[in-house]
Every structure is written in C-alpha cells, then in structure tokens.
C-alpha cells in the first residue's frame, strides 16, 4: 500500500545514505535490487511495518515468492500479476517482469505471530512456514456445522453453538443419551433431504447428530451420524451408539464421532454412520409404509 511503499522508499534511502560508499558490499549482491536486510536487523520496530510492506496492494493478502515490482518499486503478488494486464496498479506504469528479491529476503528474515492470535494461538513462525502452520493451527476457526445450507459463518465452538441456536434454530439437548423421532410424511421424495440438526451437550462438549436421506447410487438410504464440535484428536476420546428398530428387528451402529473439521458431506459420503435402506426404514416405521417414523436412540460415552 501507499504507506508500505513509502516505508520501502525510506529504507532504501537510509541504506543509500548510510552505506553507499561501501561498494564492496554492493558487489556481493548479484541482483540489481538493493538489499534492505542489513538496515532492518537492528530495528525490531520495523517488523510490523514490513508486514504491511508484504501485503499485496491489490488483494491485501500476504505476498510469497515470486514477489513482483514495477520499475518504480511498487510491489505486487504473483496471484495478482496476471490480472493487472501488465500495468502497475499503483502508478499505472508498465509492469514488466521484475522480481523483488529484496522483499523476498526480508520476508525470509521475519518471524510473525500466527494469524489466529485473536483466537488464542501464541505461536510465532518464520514467514515462509507460517502458512503451513495456519492451515493446521488448532486455534483456527471452525466452519458452521449446519448441513442444510451453504452457511459461511466461522468461529470458535462457543460462538458456533450460539449461532446454531439463534440463526439455525437447531434442537439443543443436554445429556449423553437420546431418543429422537424422525418423521417425514412423504418418504419417497428423497432428493438429498436434510433434517434439522440436533446438538447435544455433554461432558462439557458439543456433538452434532445428523440424520438425512440421500441417494446411494440408485438406492435411497437414510444415514445418521455424530460429529464432535472440536478437533479430531479430542473426538477420538468419545464413542457413540445409535439404534433403530421395530417388530423384533434392530440395527445398531457404534462409532467414533468425527470432528466438524471434516465436512458433513465428507462424513456422509464415507458412510461413517448408521445407514438404513429405505425399505428397512419404512418397515421400522410400521403402518402402511406411507410415512417415515423412525425412532433413533443413542448414547455418547467417554473412553478412558
Ligand atoms: Zn495480490
Ligand atoms: Zn508502480
Ligand atoms: Zn496458530
Ligand atoms: Zn451457520
């Protein structure tokens, strides 16, 4: 951005005035760009400004090599470069094909806090390994686990629980056992129908019980499964069972809840839950098989 580039100009000016006579140093730099590293090292305060400097003026994302610049020194990320039609977005001059090695080197010297600092991560990472950490950071926010819509809300677990209650009006239940009835008047319309999600609160944690109809190849089926509102390694501490039946028959599923880091669709498509063929579901529903009336009972427990 403008301030970032101004700072870059400042750094360059400082170096030129302070070290211009030392031509031997200059000779060691193979590229024609000036290396601002040496004047940065003692200056800790500069770090946050350098961060701004590493922000692409177009997309505002952090820039990673190759970082480009125009002949006036304005920088641009490699993702945006093909989209600006060879015009510098800052000064409108022709962009050309100049790589900003200096800034790439400065970036390599930086240690930055994880971008999920506000969510509680205290990690500090070298610039180039920060992205990798952030893709796996335990504090990164979760996607909304509601399956029936493309909800873009993200946040930590307490925030999402409130969101599910207030915005999706999900059923909330306390306790580790449940007895839930799923009713649908026209079970022959499968079309990936999704039921309301039910959220269970027990052991100080939250679990999402999904129940829905979907088409498995040619066969319409129902699937029920549990997801844990937290990370995979914590999900593994729990086991759950689901049971459905009638007329002396019953189907039982025992499983390990999946983390909501795994999308609802991913879990469903891996069949990691209780799968009930529609014919069986209608048989369990009793009556004239015109209406789906399934009673699903279940339990969640903690493995020691
Ligand atoms: Zn960009
Ligand atoms: Zn420019
Ligand atoms: Zn982190
Ligand atoms: Zn949502």
The DSSP annotation for 254-300 comes to: EE-PEETTS-HHHHHHTT-SEEEEHHHHHHHH-TTSSSEEEEEEEEE
Please return the burial class of 297, using the count of CB atoms within 10 Å of its CB with bins 0-12, 13-18 and 19+: middle
Of the ligands numbered here, which is closest to the C-alpha atom of 150? 4
Question: Ligand 2 centre from 81 Cα, in Å?
Answer: 12
Question: Ligand 3 centre from 141 Cα, in Å?
Answer: 10
Looking at residue 140, its pLDDT comes to 94
Tokens at 20, concatenated: 């211009």
Query: Would the pLDDT of 26 be above 80?
Result: no
Give one DSSP letter per residue of 56-111, joined into a string.
Answer: -TTT-SBP-SSPEE-TT--EE-TTTGGGGTTB-TTT-SB-TTEE-HHHHHHHHT-E
High-pLDDT (> 70) share of the chain, %: 81
DSSP state of 118: G
Looking at residue 39, its pLDDT comes to 44
Question: Ligand 4 centre from 153 Cα, in Å?
Answer: 5
CA atoms of 80 and 301, how far apart (whole Å): 50
Looking at residue 193, its pLDDT comes to 62
* Ion ligand 1 residue ranges (Cβ < 5 Å): 56, 58-59, 77, 80
Lowest mean per-residue pLDDT among 19-23, 66-70, 138-142 = 19-23
The closest alpha carbon to 169, from 143, 148, 190, 139, belongs to 148
- pTM strictly above 0.75: no
Question: Ligand 4 centre from 29 Cα, in Å?
Answer: 53
CA atoms of 67 and 104, how far apart (whole Å): 7
Residues 87-109, mean pLDDT to the nearest whole number: 91
- Higher-confidence residue of 3 and 164: namely 164
Residues 148-167, mean pLDDT to the nearest whole number: 90
**What average pLDDT is seen over the chain?**
82
If pLDDT is split at 50, 70 and 90, which confidence band does 6 have?
very low
Question: Ligand 2 centre from 71 Cα, in Å?
Answer: 7
Give, to the nearest 10 degrees, the angle between helix 101-108 and helix 46-53.
Answer: 130
pLDDT digit string, tens, across residues 273-295: 999 988 888 888 887 777 888 89
CA atoms of 147 and 177, how far apart (whole Å): 22
Query: Would the pLDDT of 38 be above 60?
Result: no
Is the CB of residue 263 less than 8 Å from the CB of residue 281?
A: no
Is the CB of residue 4 less than 8 Å from the CB of residue 57?
A: yes
Lowest mean per-residue pLDDT among 44-58, 114-128, 170-184 = 44-58
Looking at residue 137, its pLDDT comes to 93
Residue in the structure block whose two tokens are 């409130």: 162
Lowest mean per-residue pLDDT among 220-229, 264-273, 279-288 = 279-288
Is the CB of residue 224 less than 8 Å from the CB of residue 194?
A: no
CA atoms of 31 and 189, how far apart (whole Å): 67
Looking at residue 16, its pLDDT comes to 39
Question: Ligand 2 centre from 95 Cα, in Å?
Answer: 7
- Higher-confidence residue of 83 and 7: namely 83
Query: Would the pLDDT of 172 be above 60?
Result: yes
Residue in the structure block whose two tokens are 């000036």: 34
Looking at residue 188, its pLDDT comes to 66
Query: Would the pLDDT of 33 be above 50?
Result: no
Residues 6+ apart with CB under 8 A from 20: none
Question: Ligand 3 centre from 46 Cα, in Å?
Answer: 22
If pLDDT is split at 50, 70 and 90, which confidence band does 99 have?
very high
- Higher-confidence residue of 13 and 166: namely 166
Bridge partners (DSSP) listed for residue 98 = 69
If pLDDT is split at 50, 70 and 90, which confidence band does 35 have?
very low
Question: Ligand 1 centre from 88 Cα, in Å?
Answer: 12
Is the CB of residue 88 less than 8 Å from the CB of residue 100?
A: no
């Amino acid at each position: 951005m403008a301030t970032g580039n101004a700072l870059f100009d400042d750094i360059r000016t400082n170096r030129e005035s302070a070290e211009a006579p030392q031509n031997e140093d200059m000779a060691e730099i193979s590229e024609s760009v000036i290396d601002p590293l040496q004047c940065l090292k003692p200056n800790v305060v500069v770090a946050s400004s350098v961060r701004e400097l590493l922000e692409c003026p177009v997309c505002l994302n952090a820039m990673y090599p190759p970082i480009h610049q125009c002949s006036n020194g304005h920088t641009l990320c490699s993702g945006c470069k093909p989209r600006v039609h060879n015009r510098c977005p800052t000064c409108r001059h022709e962009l050309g094909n100049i790589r900003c090695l200096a800034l790439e080197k400065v970036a390599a010297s930086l240690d930055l806090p994880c971008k999920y600092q506000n969510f509680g991560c205290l990690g500090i990472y070298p610039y180039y390994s920060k992205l990798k950490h952030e893709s796996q950071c335990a504090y990164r926010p979760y996607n909304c686990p509601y399956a029936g819509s493309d909800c873009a809300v993200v946040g930590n677990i307490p925030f999402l629980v409130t969101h599910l209650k207030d915005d999706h009006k999900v059923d909330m239940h306390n306790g580790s056992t449940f007895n839930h009835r799923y009713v649908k008047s026209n079970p022959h319309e499968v079309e990936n129908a999704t039921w309301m999600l039910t959220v269970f609160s027990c052991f100080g944690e939250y679990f999402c019980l999904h129940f829905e109809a979907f088409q498995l190849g040619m066969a319409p089926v129902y699937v029920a499964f549990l997801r844990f509102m937290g990370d995979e390694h914590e999900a593994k501490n729990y086991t759950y069972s689901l049971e459905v039946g009638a007329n002396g028959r019953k189907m039982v599923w025992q499983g390990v809840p999946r983390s909501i880091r795994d999308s609802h669709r991913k879990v469903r498509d891996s069949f990691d839950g209780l799968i009930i063929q529609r014919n069986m579901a209608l048989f369990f529903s009793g009556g004239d098989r015109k209406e789906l009336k399934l009673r699903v009972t279940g339990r969640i427990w903690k493995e020691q």
